[in-house]
Amino acid sequence: MASAGEIEWINRKYEHGDLEGAWVAIVADTSSQETNNAISKEAKERNILLNVMDVTPLCTWIAPALVQRNDVTVAISTAGTSPALARRLRERMSDVNNCQCLRWAEMGPLLTDVRIEQRARQLKVTPNEWAQSITDQVLEVFENGDPDKARSMLVEALEAHDASSKI
């Protein structure tokens, strides 16, 4: 990141004033509580977001481990208590064989299209009814290579829930 110009890497001991002009700072490892406290004090004075890795009490934000599949992002946090655990969970969830739940993410574009159709047709469906309509059977049909049939199944389920047709 430093070689790409995305961050400024200062390879020396911290000096007061190093945070001038920054809006966020990440302290990777100083191994010095005194230095960590000094950085924290300057960050507070300058209203800078600060993450001191493995020193949660000094952090004003904690970066979660992220798993992304299509438009679905899952954030994993241990509230700073165990970054290694968050990383391990991220690694396990990133492997589709270990985390079957992310298979649903592949249907994101189809669900978006159906939601647009639902709104255009003014179907009155609650969020809970929407969630109930996204069934294992719909996923199975989708994964077996028939997105049109999966779409039809989903639309039929939404039509069955349509509150405006029950008046």
pLDDT block averages, 10 residues each, the chain of length 167: 83 92 88 93 97 89 89 88 87 80 86 91 89 93 94 93 66
pLDDT value of residue 165: 62
Domain holding 82: CATH number?
A: 3.30.160
Number of domains in the chain: 3
Domain holding 9: CATH number?
A: 3.40.50.720
pLDDT value of residue 145: 93
pLDDT value of residue 167: 46
Cα–Cα distance for residue pair 49/60, rounded to 1 Å: 6
Residues 54 and 1 in one domain: yes
Residues 91 and 108 in one domain: no
Residues 2 and 56 in one domain: yes
Residues 5 and 23 in one domain: yes
- Domain span at 86: 65-98
SS (H, E, C) 66-111: EEEECCEEEEECCCCCCHHHHHHHHHHHHCCCCCHHHHHHHHHHHH
Residues 35 and 83 in one domain: no
